[in-house]
């Protein structure tokens, strides 16, 4: 049986998880693909660093260059993370013509275009299934399974930390800060948690998916990002009463009669009847709509050593088969059908909206608010003043018809200046998946 030698850079949670998975199922993998994947070297920060799974001492080194430059290493798995030295590691391997497997979403988001170009120029491949949604095979599905489809819409719950927090806020009626603190104690949220709760982790992932789905590299600076930090138990409670669940969504939507694409991350109201509303806890899901296949759903664990290792093993199998068959590239990472495409500015995106206002409880308030919206040509579909909130200041919930983001922001800025409105208006977009 042919053998492919693997060099792993990074022996922490993910790296040791991949080593353990190969020890556990390497024989199964070899029997299925006809190639044995053998670990030759593992580069680590320190020999005694804590890791969930042990790695034999004779495989360890602290010199990553000795792994990449070893002529007997055929494939490199970059599992170290970060966006500086990891970039150098991958570029060094690609320039040697060695295929690279990576789980590094932040690096791909920041330097993906450069890395894929380097792979092409040096006649090799960069595999990245583990970079988005852990063990869910969403990259392979978009690149190969849907190669005959135009992707008209993609909605992703791609951050398990945020989904865990929002799930508990809904189930327990708890405030954001309390759930976040408990999530950090349980290891579901980092300290500090900004990368997750402010939407940047989701931005990395949704940008990769948007680039893959539409054939042009999406600059992360063009992606509109909002996190969940400012959501309250009150918003989740009112949304639930109206038949909605709030989720942090990564959204990729093709504009009608245009090559432009909306690429955004923000909290959104999802109808409770839609399958994404039931994705709970730390799980991830991607809802993909193709013009031929229709609607599809991918669901599973989006993080963790074992889910990520599963995705890395999938890429290692592809790399081993490509080496065995002498294949430089099967399906390119970016199918160029939308090369003239561009990311739509957020101000031009049209949505429905949930708006919560805290207003003085006296006659004439609704008339002032409605007048501002009417002047902006924004329609109100419903107004609700929930019971049980009597007092000088009470919440008012508006459901707004389709309106451009720019017009909505401008109108809310004027509403906030009304003397009868206390505090900043809360605006959450509504997705109906039409």
Helix/strand/coil for 258 = coil
Query: 3-state DSSP call for residue 98?
Result: coil
Give the Cβ contact number of residue 185 at 10 Å.
10
One of 41, 98, 170, 205 is an active-site residue; which one?
Answer: 205
Query: Which of 117, 157, 112, 166 has its CA nearest to residue 134?
Result: 157
Contact status, residue 176 vs residue 165, Cβ threshold 8 Å: yes
Cα–Cα dist 227/427, whole Å: 13
Pairing type for strands 393-404 and 350-360 reads antiparallel
Confirm whether 205 is a catalytic residue: yes
Between the CA of residue 353 and those of 23, 278, 333, 397, what are the distances in Å? 51, 21, 35, 10
> In the chain, helix, strand, coil percent, each to 5?
40, 25, 35
**Crossing angle for the helix pair 365-375 and 405-416, to the nearest 10 degrees:** 150
Look up residue 373 and give its DSSP letter: H
CA 222 to chain CA centroid, nearest Å = 15
Structure-token match 């099967």, residue found = 330
Tokens, residue 180: 């976040």
Q: State how far Cα 50 lies from the chain centre.
A: 28
Catalytic residues: 205
């Amino acid at each position: 049986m042919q053998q492919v030698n693997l060099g792993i850079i990074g022996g922490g949670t993910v790296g040791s998880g991949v080593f353990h998975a190969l020890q556990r199922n390497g024989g199964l993998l070899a029997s299925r693909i006809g190639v044995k994947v053998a670990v030759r070297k593992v580069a680590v920060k320190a020999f005694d660093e804590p890791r969930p799974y042990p790695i034999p001492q004779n495989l360890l080194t602290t010199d990553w260059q000795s792994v990449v430059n070893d002529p007997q290493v055929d494939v490199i798995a970059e599992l170290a993370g970060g966006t500086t030295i990891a970039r150098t590691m991958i570029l060094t391997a690609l320039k040697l013509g060695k295929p690279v497997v990576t789980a590094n979403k932040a690096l791909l988001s920041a330097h993906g275009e450069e890395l894929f170009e380097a792979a092409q120029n040096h006649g090799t491949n960069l595999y990245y299934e583990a970079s988005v949604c852990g063990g869910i095979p969403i990259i392979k599905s978009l690149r190969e399974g849907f190669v005959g489809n135009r992707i008209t819409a993609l909605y992703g719950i791609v951050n398990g930390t945020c989904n865990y927090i929002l799930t508990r806020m809904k189930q327990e009626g708890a405030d954001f800060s309390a759930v976040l603190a408990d999530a950090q104690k349980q290891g579901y949220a980092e300290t500090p948690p900004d990368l997750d709760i402010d939407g940047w982790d989701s931005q990395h992932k949704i940008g990769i998916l948007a680039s893959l789905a539409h054939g042009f590299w999406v600059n992360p600076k063009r992606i509109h990002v909002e996190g969940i930090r400012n959501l309250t138990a009150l918003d989740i409670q009112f949304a639930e009463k109206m038949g909605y669940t709030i989720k942090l969504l990564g959204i990729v939507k093709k504009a009608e009669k245009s090559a432009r694409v909306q690429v955004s991350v923000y909290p959104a109201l999802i109808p409770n009847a839609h399958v994404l509303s039931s994705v709970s806890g730390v799980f991830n899901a991607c809802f993909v709509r193709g013009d031929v296949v229709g609607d599809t759903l991918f669901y599973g664990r989006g993080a963790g050593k074992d889910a990520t290792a599963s995705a890395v093993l999938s890429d290692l199998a592809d790399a081993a088969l490509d080496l065995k068959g002498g294949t430089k590239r099967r399906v390119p990472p970016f199918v160029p059908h939308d090369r003239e495409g561009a990311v739509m500015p957020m101000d031009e995106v049209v949505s429905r909206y949930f708006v919560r206002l805290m207003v003085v409880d006296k006659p004439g308030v609704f008339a002032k608010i409605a007048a501002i919206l009417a002047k902006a040509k924004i329609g109100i579909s419903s107004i609700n003043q929930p019971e049980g909130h009597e007092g000088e200041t009470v919440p008012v919930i508006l459901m707004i018809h389709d309106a451009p983001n720019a017009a909505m922001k401008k109108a809310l800025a004027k509403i906030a200046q009304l003397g009868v409105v206390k505090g900043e208006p809360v605006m959450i977009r509504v997705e109906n998946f039409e």
